[in-house]
Each structure stands twice: as C-alpha cells, then as structure tokens.
A and B are shown apart, each in its own frame.
Chain A
C-alpha cells in the first residue's frame, strides 16, 4: 500500500521510516513524502493511481492541508485515495471542516503511532 505523507517538517520522513521500519522492510507499506501541499499535488499528478492513502498535516505554510484536501477531492474523483488529516491538539474547527470536505479520518498531534498503525492495517485489509 502506497502512503503519501504531507508535512512541512522534514524530520517526519525519518520518523515514519523508523517507526514503520518493519512494515516497509516487509513491503507492507510504501511511504512517499511531500513537504508542502503543492509538492503533494504534483506528486499525485504523476502517481495518481498508486497512492492509496494520504496522511496530511493541516497547518502548513503555503497550501494548507484543508486546501490540499479540497484539490484532491476535486482533481481525483475517479480514484479517490483515503485521506487522513493530522492537526495540532484541540482544534475542533479544523476537524469539522476536514470532515465536511470529505476527510476519511482525523488524528491529533502528538500522533499515536500504535493507533495509526492499526488504522493503516485496517485500510490495508
């Protein structure tokens, strides 16, 4: 399963690679990383059919996670990937907005990786 992680913090890449080391090794998950909303969209343009799951931060400079979600839902209606939004603690506004725009799930920072792994595995099945 190909997962695109969108976050403006570059350290997220090494964190995910280490957290999901076993799954990546076994080929269960494949992670790609984009460090801005724009980058994520251009990646989607070239790998549209491959990406099954998008994990996106909401608060990013430039294109926000919410805008990215809107674009994805508009540009890729044929093969819609699952979109899971991540945001800072206690931000109910963003939560409601993301759900309304068609986000599949919602996570709050700090991300509970155990919970995330379970959710990803459920999507996998």
Chain B
C-alpha cells in the first residue's frame, strides 16, 4: 500500500512539476502507463492475497523508475524528488532482505524495522512537501522574472521608439539647417550681385556726367556752326562773285549746314540717352512730377529691349504698344516709375527669350513669335497699365514668391531678386496703387499696375 502511494505521488508530482502534458507529451504517455501499472500492481497484490514475495516486484518497479529518472536528462529538475524516494526504497529493501535472510532477527526487532520503514515513508512525503514548496517559490520567482523581463522589454521598446523619434527630429532639423544654409548662400550671392549692380549704377552716373560735358560742346558747336553757315550765305550775297560761283559756294555751305544739323541731331540723341542713364541712376527726388506716361513707358520699353539685344544679338521680340492718347500728363515719380517699367519689361523680354531658348532646346519647330505688349488706359481717374508677354509664364509656387525680396528664378549672377519687390514697393507705397500678376504657365504673364490719379 505504501509503495503504491509513493509511486503514485512520485508520478503525480513529476507530471505536475515538469508539466509533461504540454512540455513532454511522449514522457507523459509513458508516465501514464506507469501509473496504470502501479494501480495494476496494487490490484494484483490484493487479488493474490498479499503474498510476501510480492514486495520484491514493488522494489524492482520503484528502483526501475528511479534509475530511469536518474538516467534521463529531462528529469534533472525533479531529481530532488527522486532522491527523496531513495531512503524509503532502501529501507524497504533492507527490511525485506533482513526478513528473508534472518527471520528470527527480524521478528525480534520488527518494531525497529517497522518504525524505520514508517519514518522513511513519512520522510519521503515531508521532503516532497518541501520540494513542492520550493517549487512553488521557484515558479513565483520565475513568473516575477518573466514579468520583469516583459517590463524591461517594454521599457527598451519605448526607449528605442524615443530614440527613433529623436533621430527623426534631428534629421529634420539637420535638413532644415542645410536648407537655411543653402538659402543664405544664395542670398549672399545675390547680395554680392546687387552690390555690384549698385556700384555699376554709381559708375554709370559718373560716366554719364563725364560724357555730358563734351557732348554739350558737340551740340553747341554744331548748332552755332549752322548759324554761321546761314550768316556765310548772307555774306556771299553781298560779294560780287559770279552767280555760278555763288551757287556752287552756296551748295557747299548747304551741305555743311546739313552735316552740322545731323551732328546736332545725333548729339541730341546721345544726350537723351545720357540723361536717361542719369535719371535712372539718380536717387529719387521722391517728388511727383507731371509726366507723359506713354512716353515714359515707351522709352523704358526700348531701353529694356536694347539692353537685352546688346547682350544677346539673336534676341528678337515684337514690341506692341496700345496707348490711350487721352491720358496726357500725370503726376508720378518719374525715376521710380521708370524703374518699375524697366523691371517689368526686362522680365517680360527675359520670359520670351527663355521660352524661345527652351523651344529651341527641345528641338520642336514652332511658329513661336515672342511678343511684349504695353497697354495704358485711363478710366474714372484711375490709370491702368498692363505689361503682357507670351513667354514662359510661372507656376503657382513661383507666382506666390515673386514680390519677395531676393527671390529670383534667373541663374545666379543674372538677377538680384530685388526688381519686383522694389517695383511693388514703388507702386503700392510711393504711389498708392496696386501691382498684380496673372500668369498661365508656358503661355503668358501679365503684370497689372493700377494707379489712382489725383485731379490736377
């Protein structure tokens, strides 16, 4: 009976601790069989009317179990449990051996033997109890460790997430900084460019002044020479030369006079160019003057056209003017408005030249005709000026930025990015008007100036 209890509990604990059902299904089956064998053994014992030799089957059975348990690595965790059964088996075997070999000695001391057997049996269960307790503590510990592991894993994951987030932020920041540096660099380039332009402007003013003095002499002397020729003609009439000679001399004088007039004419042309240069480079007086807007627009249109022609001989564009003759003289700041015209026309010519260049690069044969048009219209005390070109146009992103200082689409060194921002300032702040733009990418651009007119 005690054998059966020991073996059943042994099997029960082994199965429970090792969780053989889920962990070791193969061994579980075997243990199940062992369990039935032990039940069968118990049953046979009673059926066979409890013969004495039957104890030895139990001994063999248990020893076999223990040996198998010791031999196999999978049972290492329950070795303590198996060990606890050893004293019981040992004492039982000794008891039975002594009973068999020296029955008298055994009968004399059977109290001691029975006590030892009972003691070993109880010890067995006490040890199991401890083992179980230890096992429970171990399981608890293990669970805690797993919990801790899970917690640390979660922490690690959250840390990793944080690190990834930071890395992303830093990357973004780095990219932004890089962008800012690039912008700063291009702004610096543009500043250098505008500085160059400014010094060029001063130089132009100086040169224009220096040219003007000799030009004045050319004009004045040629004018006075025309007068002298007239006097000479009058003087010749007073002489007594033959008429044919007089005619011949007068012919020569007439040619001379015409030449001088031509010198005066071309001198005046040069003079007006010099004046234009001076006017443009002059610091604005900030005062409004009565100006013929149509003439001003026309002048700057030609100036911008010839400016581009000088740089690019192949450039060509139709200049279309649609002037309202009823405008007459209008009070504006001529130098400032001239700058606006120059900027708008320069941009317009640039746009048509770019479109022509792009079309040529693509190799498409088109009948593209570059055209820049200026329209003026006076209506209800308001002056409407439009500068239209059929050039490259602008995408929405560019259109949104064109009035910003230092924004330019031209290659570095070709534009200062100040032209339109300055124009905007001149029209809105200095003249109280408005400057708008309409554009169709690849088709056209139209700048619209609206100027309120003060009644003169």
Contact A89 B275 (CB under 8 A): yes
- B contact residues vs A (CB 8 Å cutoff): 209, 212-213, 215-217, 219-221, 223-224, 227-228, 231, 271, 275, 278-279, 282, 285
Asked whether B216 lies within 8 Å of A110 as measured between CB atoms, the reply is yes
Contact A19:B220 (CB < 8 A) given known A9-B213, A88-B209, A88-B212? yes
The answer to whether A9 and B212 touch (CB under 8 A), given A19-B224, A110-B271, is no
Collect the chain B residues with CB atoms within 8 Å of residue A88's CB: 209, 212-213
B302 to chain A, nearest CB (A): 21
User: How many residues does chain A have at the interface if contact means C-beta atoms less than 8 Å apart?
Assistant: 14
Contact B224 A90 (CB under 8 A): no
State whether B220 touches A110 (Cβ < 8 A): yes
User: Is A113 among interface residues, defined by CB-CB distance under 8 A?
Assistant: yes
| Any B CB within 8 A of the CB of A122 | no
**B228 & A109 in contact (Cβ 8 Å cutoff):** no
- Distance of A109 Cα from B218 Cα, bound (Å): 13
Pick the residue among B209, B212, B220 that contacts A113 (CB under 8 A): B220
Shortest CB distance B279–A (Å): 8
Q: Which of A18, A89, A109 contacts B224 (CB 8 A)?
A: A18
A15 touches B275 (CB 8 A): no
Render A71-89 as a binary contact track against B, CB cut-off 8 A, 1 for contact: 0000000000000000011
Within the complex, which residue of B216, B221, B285 is in contact with A109, where a contact is CB–CB below 8 Å? B216
What are the residues of chain A within 8 A of B285 when measuring CB–CB? 92
- CB-based contact B282/A110 at 8 Å: no
A60 to chain B, nearest CB (A): 12
Taken together as a complex, chains A and B put the C-alpha atoms of A90 and B228 apart, in Å, by 31
- Nearest A residue (CB) for B285: A92
Report the bound CA distance from A15 to B220 in whole Å: 7
| 15 sample A-B contacts, Cβ–Cβ < 8 Å, listed by A number | A9-B217, A11-B217, A15-B217, A15-B221, A18-B221, A18-B228, A88-B209, A88-B213, A89-B209, A89-B275, A90-B278, A90-B279, A109-B213, A110-B219, A113-B223
Q: Chain A residues near B231: list those with CB within 8 A.
A: 21
Q: Which residue of B lies closest to A110 (CB)?
A: B216
Work out how many contacts link A and B, with CB atoms closer than 8 A: 41
8 Å CB contact of A89 from B217, B220, B221, B278: B278
CB distance from B269 to the nearest CB of A (A): 14
Chain B proximity of A58: nearest CB distance (Å): 13
Q: A15-B220, A110-B216, A111-B216 are in contact. List 11 more A-B contacts (CB 8 A).
A: A9-B217, A11-B217, A15-B221, A18-B221, A18-B224, A88-B212, A88-B213, A89-B209, A89-B212, A109-B212, A111-B220
In the docked arrangement, what's the CA distance between A71 and B212, Å? 29
Whole-angstrom distance between the Cβ of B235 and the nearest chain A Cβ: 12
Q: A90-B278, A90-B282 are in contact. Are A15 and B212 (CB under 8 A)?
A: no
Q: In the complex, what's the smallest C-beta–C-beta distance from B263 to chain A, in angstroms?
A: 14
Name the residue among B224, B231, B279, B282 with the largest chain A CB count within 10 angstroms: B224
Shortest CB distance A71–B (Å): 24
A9 cross-chain contacts in B, Cβ below 8 A: 213, 217
Interface string of A47-74 (1 = CB under 8 A from B): 0000000000000000000000000000
What's the minimum C-beta distance from A33 to chain B, rounded to whole angstroms?
15
Distance A21 CA – B224 CA, assembled complex (angstroms): 10
How far apart are the CA atoms of A41 and B213 in the complex, in Å?
A: 24
Cα(A31)–Cα(B130), bound, Å: 141
Rounded to whole angstroms, the CA-CA distance of A105 and B237 in the bound complex is: 41
Among residues of A, the one whose C-beta sits closest to the C-beta of B221 is A15
Min C-beta distance of B383 to chain A, whole Å: 26
CB within 8 Å of B: which of A1-40? Answer: 9, 11, 15, 18-19, 21
Best-surrounded residue of A9, A21, A89, A111 (most CB of chain B within 10 A): A89
Say how far B22's CB is from chain A's closest CB, in angstroms.
105
CB distance from A81 to the nearest CB of B (A): 24
Give the 10 A-B CB pairs with smallest separation, nearest first.
A110-B216, A18-B224, A19-B224, A15-B220, A11-B217, A109-B216, A88-B209, A89-B278, A110-B219, A90-B282
Question: Could you say which residues of chain A place their CB within 8 Å of the CB of B219?
Answer: 110
Which B residues are CB-close (under 8 A) to A110? 212, 215-216, 219-220, 271
Q: Measured between alpha carbons, how far is A113 from B222 in the docked complex, in Å?
A: 13
Distance in angstroms between the alpha carbons of A33 and B369 in the assembled complex: 60
- A90–B221 alpha-carbon span in the complex (Å): 23
